[in-house]
Each structure stands twice: as C-alpha cells, then as structure tokens.
Amino acid sequence: MEITEEIDYEALPATATMQAQLLAGAFAGIMEHSVMYPIDAIKTRMQAFSTGKTMYSGVISTITKISSQEGSMALFKGINSMILGAGPAHAVYFATYEFVKREIMEEDEISPLKSALSGASATIAADALMNPFDTIKQRLQLGGESKTMWHTAKKMYLKEGFTTFYASYPTTISMNIPFAALNFAIYETSTKLLNPNNNYDPIIHCLCGGLSGAIGAAVTNPLDCVKTLLQVRGESSNEQIKKSNTFWKASKTIYQMYGYKGFLRGMKPRVIANVPATAISWTSYEMAKHFLID
C-alpha cells in the first residue's frame, strides 16, 4: 500500500531553503502592493490632512478629483519606490515568520497567540527595511513637484535630514505589530478550521486572507492616520503639522484639527485595499510555496 506524505501548506517544509522562503515572500509582497496601489494612493490623499493640497473626503470624489486634475496615472506615483522596497521587505517578513513559527510551534498546532508572536517578529524586521521606501512613496502619492523617488529622497534628506526616513518607524511598528498579529492569528486559525486536511486550496487561502486583512486594517486605522501625518508633514504649509514629529504630537494635532473622527479618515479605502491585497498576498505566497514544494 502506497503511503502519500501529507504536506502542510500552512508552512514551508523543513527542507525548504532560505532562498525559497525569500522568493515566496518577495513574490507575495510585490503582488499584494502592486495590484491595490491606486486604492492605497487614495487612502494617503484622504489621510494627508492639511498639506496645502486639495482636501479629500470620499473614495469616489477623490478618484474624480485626482483623475480630472492630474490624470489617472497620478494614482500610480511612487509605485517604483513601493516595488523596490516591498520585494526585499516581504521576503524578510515571511522568512522571519516561518523561522519563528517553526521554532515555537509544534507541527499541526493551532495557537493564535504563537502565530501572533511570529507575525509580530516578522513585521519588526520587515518594517526596518521598508520604512524609508514607504515614506518616499507617501510623498510621491501626494502629487507634488517631485517626479522620481531619487529626487524625492534627495529633497527630503537635504531639507529634513536622514531621520525623516524613520520618523514614522515607531508608529509603523506600533501599528503593524497588532496588524500582523491579527493577520497571522486570524489567517492561521481560519485556515485550520476551514481546511483541516491542509490541502492546497487557493479559494480558502484567498477568503481567509481577505478576512484577516479587513479586520486588521479596520482596527489599526487610527495608527495609520498618525503614521501618514508623520511621513508627509514635511510637505505641509501648516506649522503645527510641520512640528508634529512624534507620535504624541501627531496624535494631538489630528485630534485638535478633526476630533476623534480624524483618526477614522481613510478607513474605507484602507479596508477596501487590504481585503484583496492581503488575500492576494496569502494566495500568492501559498501558490509560490506550492510550486516550490513540487
């Protein structure tokens, strides 16, 4: 009687090389951010507050204003910075996740807490690499005079110093740790429940990924608003915003300008973007693992 080895598709096999883990992660990251990039650009505009630009209040109206005033391609400004950073950052993200998960979890174990810890470890490592690229991307998404990431990076460095590339890093970490924890915990738990035999099933991976992305995006949106202000404050004509260079100062500024509702700005496009983006990320990652295993 032939015995078929059962493969756990929720993790790369123990024999998988680090190169395989990095390739799978990079593929997932680029696919995730590229497909939903225009929606991310809309979210940035809505969260930018007073930067001397047009104020945006709704997804449809934002698309209409940007398209009519700047052209539809304006929604893709900064995508090169995102791609350049997302590939390596997500490679580190998933490789770190797989490593920590393998070290602390038993085979076939269902543990949302340990999955969350693995995800948190992954995001700390990945964001250290991604944060400068994300900051440049945010500036380009505002539609300013800078047309290339290199010109924007040079302008930021000369005007604001090197620290501006990491001004939002503590906030990014404080946002992405709970996001990653929710993402991995919900994804791992839901896939174990819906796919107990660990079969490769793109539909299940997609549904579970979308669910984890939606919940994570909604819960962490207030922190994303603070992060955006910290990253784009250098483009503002408002002196209070310019001086908001810490988490608490940025939070106070948002509250003084818009009240509690200020922390909800951009939630709709953030959730809209993260549902398919996270679904694509997990589905792409599982697909890459599937072909790497085969």
Q: What is the CATH number of the domain that holds 224?
A: 1.50.40.10
For residue 278, is it within any domain? yes
**pLDDT band with cut points at 50, 70 and 90 for residue 207:** very high
- For residue 6, the model assigns a pLDDT of 36
pLDDT, average across residues 189-208: 86
Question: Tens of pLDDT along 104-157?
Answer: 887 767 777 887 888 888 889 989 999 999 999 988 888 766 668 888 899 999
pLDDT, average across residues 197-215: 87
Instruction: Give the total number of structural domains in the chain.
Output: 1
Burial 236-272 (b: 16+ CB within 10 A, else e): beeeebeebbebebbbebbeeeeeeebbebbbbbbbb
For residue 199, is it within any domain? yes
For residue 158, is it within any domain? no
Those residues whose C-beta lies under 8 Å from the C-beta of residue 282, and which sit 6 or more positions away, are 28, 187, 205, 206, 208, 209, 212
For residue 252, is it within any domain? yes
- For residue 252, the model assigns a pLDDT of 94
Question: Tens of pLDDT along 233-292?
Answer: 887 878 888 888 889 999 999 999 889 999 998 898 899 888 888 888 788 777 776 776
Q: How far is CA 71 from the centre of its chain?
A: 25
For residue 96, is it within any domain? yes
> For 12-21, 117-126, 168-177, 256-265, which range has the lowest pLDDT when averaged over its residues?
12-21
The parent domain of residue 203 ranges over 18-149+165-293
- For residue 34, the model assigns a pLDDT of 76
Q: What number of CA atoms fall less than 13 Å from residue 287's CA on the CB side?
A: 14
* Residue in this structure with the two tokens 């400004």, named with its chain if needed: 77
pTM above the 0.85 mark? Answer: no
**pLDDT band with cut points at 50, 70 and 90 for residue 49:** low
- For residue 211, the model assigns a pLDDT of 92
For the chain, give the percent of residues with pLDDT over 90: 19
For residue 267, is it within any domain? yes
